[in-house]
Amino acid sequence: MRVLGLMSGTSGDGIDVALVQIHGRGWRLRAHLENSCTLPYSPRVRRLLLRLANANRQPILSVAEISEANFLLGELFARAARQACRRFRVRLAAIDLIGSHGHTVHHQPRAGKRTGAQVASTLQLGEPAVIAERTGIAVVANFRARDLAAGGQGAPLVPYVDYLLYRHPRRGRVALNLGGIANLTVIPANASPQKVFAFDTGPGNMVIDAVVERGTHGRLRYDRSGRLAARGQPLAPLLRRLLRHPYFRRRPPKSTGREQFGQEFAESFLRQARRSSLPNRVRTATELTVESIRLAFDRFILPRARVHDVVLGGGGACNTFLVERLRQSLPALTFIPAGQLGVEGKAKEAFAFAVLAYQTWHGQPANLPSATGARHPVVLGVIVPGGGSRA
């Protein structure tokens, strides 16, 4: 099958699209990335996504606005699929299936009590019925809910694909994705799928981006190549306080997002660092990412698995200063850009949801309970049939 994977990450930059050719079943499955691109959101849509992400703490959105946002994002995802096909010079009619992760606006994998009942929940927007209607292609979406219903965290789901891509008979590997949130998959040498484990380590680019955007009054949205951080010095007392956040000590399986490291966390950070220069603030946010990842290795990975390589992907892999600090913090490990092993790091999550959609279409489980904490493997997502007119 030829499958389009669609992904919108926590940073809210745009929609990543991957065109993937897939054949085979189970662990013999083979997937090849044909092409990929990112279609940026307009500033207006990005502001909406940030408002949605912070709606719990700043209740300025009505149910009507959330409903409209769901259908708006469906339209944008459908448009992204069509634009990507034109860019790839592939007819829409040549696509067999779409896997859409949607855009996460709330992820609460530990039971909450807002309704009086103790339930975990997750919510991704981007109405798949709209995508199916506009493209005429069947869509698999809402991947996280079934794993959550089975007692898992609903995340991370990419480890299934990490195992397909990076398993090695002699070398233990960690696939590290530096997105808004940093997450990793641990694949011991010659491991069976049951031996793979994974979790979110904490902030990746999220806090860095917030500090840069606030400190430059919106002129910059991220620290290109880590240039600001390289000019600064870490604020050691503040960094020690930040690293006492209880999430960093919680044992895997675990996952996180803007609920813990979003606007409220960034504002607290900025209040505590208000007397310092912007480079020092950005350096401290960068060191928070580096140190939280190093602590994850020391506490939860190296005691359980022998690791040789770190396969590095995500937008943060373009931050050369951040990557160099990670290398210095984990000097015994070899860092490998994800692109050297078949799939460019920026495209990997969209690639992954194409593969997960393929598995769902064939009725095959695609979560790893050892990674998510689910009671058993499950078939992920829901299928919306295609059949409308294709352009």
Consecutive sets of 10 residues in the chain, 391 residues long: mean pLDDT of each?
A: 94 92 92 96 90 69 90 98 98 97 89 76 96 98 96 93 96 95 96 95 95 92 96 97 96 88 91 95 98 98 97 93 98 96 90 98 95 95 83 48
Residues 66 and 205 occupy one common structural domain: no
| pLDDT score at 109 | 84
pLDDT at residue number 55: 66
Residue 275 lies in a domain: yes
Q: How many distinct helices (H) and strands (E) make up the chain?
A: 14, 12
Residues 185, 332 share a domain: yes
Instruction: Judge if 168 and 145 occupy the same domain.
Output: no
What is the distance between the alpha carbons of residues 98 and 121, in angstroms, rounded to a whole number? 24
Does 212 fall in a domain?
yes
Does residue 389 sit within a domain? no
3-state secondary structure of 245: coil
Same-domain check for residues 111 and 188 = no
18 with 104, same domain: the answer is: yes
**What CATH number does the domain containing 302 carry?**
3.30.420.40
pLDDT score recorded for residue 259: 80
Q: Which pLDDT does position 93 carry in this prediction?
A: 95
* Dihedral sign (CA 82, 84, 89, 95): negative
Number of domains, the chain: 2
- Which domain range does residue 223 map to? 159-345
The answer as to whether 370 is a domain residue is yes
The pLDDT score that the predictor gives to residue 53 is: 77
Residue 90, phi-psi category: left (phi > 0), alpha (psi -120 to 50), beta (remainder): beta
Residues 163 and 216 in one domain: yes
pLDDT at 218: 87
User: Same structural domain for residues 107 and 204?
Assistant: no
Q: Is residue 231 part of a domain?
A: yes
Q: How far apart are CA 264 and CA 287, in angstroms?
A: 19
- Regarding beta strands 139-141 and 97-112, do their DSSP bridges make them parallel or antiparallel, or are they unpaired? parallel
Same domain membership, residue 201 and residue 319: yes
- Do residue 253 and residue 263 come from a single domain? yes
Scanning 89-226, the segments in alpha helix (DSSP H) are: 128-135, 144-149, 159-166, 206-215
User: What pLDDT is stored for residue 235 in this prediction?
Assistant: 97
- Collapsed DSSP state (helix, strand, coil) of residue 5: strand
Same domain, 96 and 167: no
DSSP 3-state percent helix, strand, coil across the chain (nearest 5): 45, 20, 35
- Per-residue pLDDT, 187: 98
pLDDT for 62: 83
> Is 263 a domain residue?
yes
Name the DSSP class of 249. Answer: G
Predicted pLDDT at 321: 98
- The model carries a pTM of 0.91
Q: Are residues 67 and 195 in the same domain?
A: no
> Which residue matches tokens 């990112």?
38
Inside any domain, residue 45? yes
Domain-embedded: residue 240: yes
SS3 69: helix
Distance, CA of 368 to chain centre: 16
* Spatial CA neighbour of 286 closest among 337, 346, 222, 348: 222
Residues 269 and 258 in one domain: yes
